Structure 1
Amino acid sequence: MGLSSILLGGTLPLPQLALLAVGVWVCFHLARGIHQAYFHPLSRVPGPKLWDLRHFHRLHGPAVRYTADAVLFTTAPNKQLDPQSNILMATRCTPFRTGPRNRIGKHPAHNEMPTIMGAVALGV
């Protein structure tokens, strides 16, 4: 069963068809990756590679804010960072939210929750 018989109306068994589909998918993504890495017009512009993020951690410590609402940690959870790093991170980062805070309800316990959680996040 050659390519000419398939093109002339022959059919492939299901396992061979699945294998062909997986092979085409792998070849497509491999060719696309090679094209984007070496032949794309923007291939000479440095991109966000994983090892470039290590540079930020060497400069700024174990916690780096890389977008307005995302922080990247090199250690496990935030509570395992030393408290001094948390305080420095909290004082250097400016919040982007303005206006009144959202409240869950009018009960006083709900209004105190952001204060309590802020103290927990800072390790106070």
Structure 2
Amino acid sequence: MKIAQIIALVLAGALGIMSIISGSMVLLGLREVGYRVLIGLVIYNVVLGALSVITAFLIWKNFLLSRKLIPLILIFHALVLAYLYFFSDTVAMESLKAMTFRVGVWLLIFILTLPGKNKYLEIKREQ
């Protein structure tokens, strides 16, 4: 396993697990936050957190499907960030910062897993 692949899967897995735990605690009422919570955004974060963990596993196993999920997750996060920034009056600054962080991390994961662009990582399924 290449170092870029390890970094990508650790980032995807850690961010996914953090999103699942944090979002689930808010949804279950186990954690109170000091700002307005958009329940739809929290649900989105939990669902994408689960998809992030699955993607980390696929990176680890060298499945080609990870190459399709990585840009998809990045695009989803970027679109949600754009929506929150430009179209939502009720979003908390913390939510904007968290989504900006997610976009940055997934952009890094995308770059780390670019085939042919990164000599340290080539994701391909072994036969």
Structure with higher Rg: it is 1
The normalised TM-score by structure 2 is 0.23
Structure number with the higher strand fraction is 1
- Which is helix-richer, 1 or 2? 2
**Higher relative contact order by CA 8 Å / sep ≥ 6: 1 or 2?**
2
